[in-house]
Amino acid sequence: MATGILPTGVAVYAVPLVTILLGILIGFLAQRSGYCSIGGFRDYVLFRHTRLLSGYLALIVASFFGYLLFWFLAPAAMEHFFWALTSDPMSPVPGAPGGLVPVAYLLISVITGFFVGFICVLLGGCPIRQTVMASEGNYKAGFFFLGMCLGSIIFAAYVSGWFTILMRSIGFGG
Amino acid sequence: MLPGNTSDTVHQYFSYLVRHPAFLGALIGVLAAFSQALLISAGGPEAYGFCVACHTRDLVNGMTNIIAGTSLALAPISGNAVLPVMSVAGVLIGAYLSARMYREHRIKRGDLKDYAIYFLGGFIVLQLAMIFGGCPYRAALRTGYGDITALAFIITMAAGVIVGTLLMLRQAQKEDA
């Protein structure tokens, strides 16, 4: 169990507060800059514009250096930094349905990645852009956000379980 | 340079910086690491500082659990805390404030078919993102954290975007002809 800067008793109260402040800052700046990960790749393919793409690449690079910085400052909070070296290199950081073999996770990443990119570019934006556009008064993006809200309940109630059963039945159970 | 112009230059430079996506990208990366260092005691997973799909899931399922007494699955950090992570609510508020402040708030309606397509699109994107364990943003954070499967996700996502863009381009050319 990793320990952060705040003790557990304080952290459980700080979680909603810190994340909402973080979200307000990110939402404000995302509206100002038109930030979008999918749009970055799209603009590069269509017009060779690198403005939005630089935002997404900066995120990848900065997250590495950010984790590196806080790994020096609070090593106990970054238990598995350099994930590929400190754990099984092909396994993912937890957060998805667990208990599958490593090759299954690679396969899942490849397939879901392709379809997330494909669907989002047809709808004109990645999840954060749709959320920002919904706040700007775009009803279509608002319905995208509502779809995500309903989807999260349906995923937790049904799809997650079905998916695990499916993966086990085709021999990917770990 | 005159002293009066210096503050103008600083102001211009600052407003350019604030409007540049790379600045926000760098900011999200560092703040996500900071929020993990601060809050990880409340529970995992790691590299979970900012994610639109996962945090929407946590917000919706967490509030449903509190209000309706259900026990829908969510990340440990949201399950242990008094309220789930609120980043997405923050993004909605922040973007609304910014749109109002700079007079960019415009109501844009579509027809019923558009709403159905976008609703279904959001639904499917969330299922895919949850099966992978993150939206494009958490994929970037995980790549920074050293996760190879997340790098594979980003590469094929770029491939998916390229295929989708070329498809749209071809469609547009067909309509022109």
Q: Chain A: residue nearest B126 by CA?
A: A148
Q: Cα dihedral sign for B147, A27, B55, A127?
A: negative
For the four alpha carbons of B114, B60, A32 and B104, in that order, the dihedral sign comes to positive
More confident residue, A83 or A20: A20
Is A99 a residue whose pLDDT tops 90?
A: no
Can you give the pLDDT at residue B4? 57
Other Cβ atoms closer than 10 A to B12: 11
Identify the pLDDT of residue B11: 86
Q: Is A165 near chain B, with CB under 8 Å?
A: no
CB of B85 closer than 8 Å to CB of B77: yes
Chain position carrying tokens 């799909």: B53
Q: Do B122 and A131 touch (CB under 8 A)?
A: no
Residue A89 is predicted with a pLDDT of 67
Nearest by CB: A56 against B34, B104, B140: B140
Nearest CA in chain B to A39: B161
Chain A contact present for B17, CB below 8 A: no
Lowest mean per-residue pLDDT among A2-16, A42-56, B16-30, B53-67: A2-16
| Cβ–Cβ < 8 Å for B45, B75 | yes
Compare all CA atoms of chain B with the CA of A102 and give the residue at the minimum distance.
B149
**B118, B135, B142, B167: which to substitute to probe chain A, counting the most A Cβ within 10 Å?**
B118
- A95 or A92, which is more confident? A92
* Among B52, B55, B56, B161, the residue to mutate for chain A (most A Cβ within 10 A): B161
Amino acid type, A25? L
The pLDDT value recorded for residue A95 is: 62
pLDDT at A90: 66
Residues of A (46-105) whose Cβ lies below 8 Å from B: 46, 51-52, 54-67, 69-70, 73-74, 77-86, 89-97, 105
pLDDT value at residue B80: 84
Higher-scoring residue by pLDDT: B55, A102: B55
Mean pLDDT of A32-37: 90
User: Is a pLDDT exceeding 80 seen at residue A2?
Assistant: no
A44 contact B CB<8A: no
What's the token pair of residue A159? 């799809």
Q: Which of A35-49, A123-137, A156-170, B93-107 is predicted with the least confidence, judged by mean pLDDT? A: A156-170
- Going by C-alpha positions, the residue among A30, A29, A153, A105 that lies closest to residue B127 is A153
Spatial CA neighbour of B157 closest among A42, A103, A82: A42
Inter-chain residue contact A95 with B45, CB threshold 8 Å: yes
Q: What is the dihedral of CA B42, B44, B49, B50, to 10 degrees?
A: -110
Q: Does B66 touch chain A (CB under 8 A)?
A: no
Q: Any chain B CB within 8 A of the CB of A33?
A: yes
Residue B161 and residue A14: Cα distance in Å, rounded? 37
Residues of B in contact with A74 (CB under 8 A): 37
Give me the percent of chain A exceeding a pLDDT of 90.
42
Mean pLDDT for chain A? 86
- Give the model's pLDDT for residue B147: 85
Residue B48's pLDDT is: 87
Instruction: Show pLDDT as tens, one digit a residue, over chain B (177 residues).
Output: 455 577 888 888 888 888 889 999 999 999 999 998 888 888 778 888 888 988 999 999 999 999 998 888 888 888 888 899 999 999 999 999 999 999 888 888 889 999 999 999 999 999 999 888 888 899 999 898 888 888 999 999 999 999 999 999 898 888 887
> What is residue A30's predicted lDDT score, i.e. its pLDDT?
92
Cross-chain Cβ contact A19/B35 below 8 Å = yes
Nearest Cα residue in chain B from A96: B133
When CB atoms are compared, the residue of B60, B121, B124 closest to A153 is B60
| Closest residue of chain A to B74, computed from CA coordinates | A156
B65 touches chain A (CB under 8 A): no
Sequence-distant (≥ 6) Cβ neighbours of residue A83 within 8 angstroms: A93, B46, B47, B142, B145, B146, B147
Query: Contacts of residue B37 in chain A, CB cutoff 8 Å?
Result: 4-5, 70, 73-74, 77-78
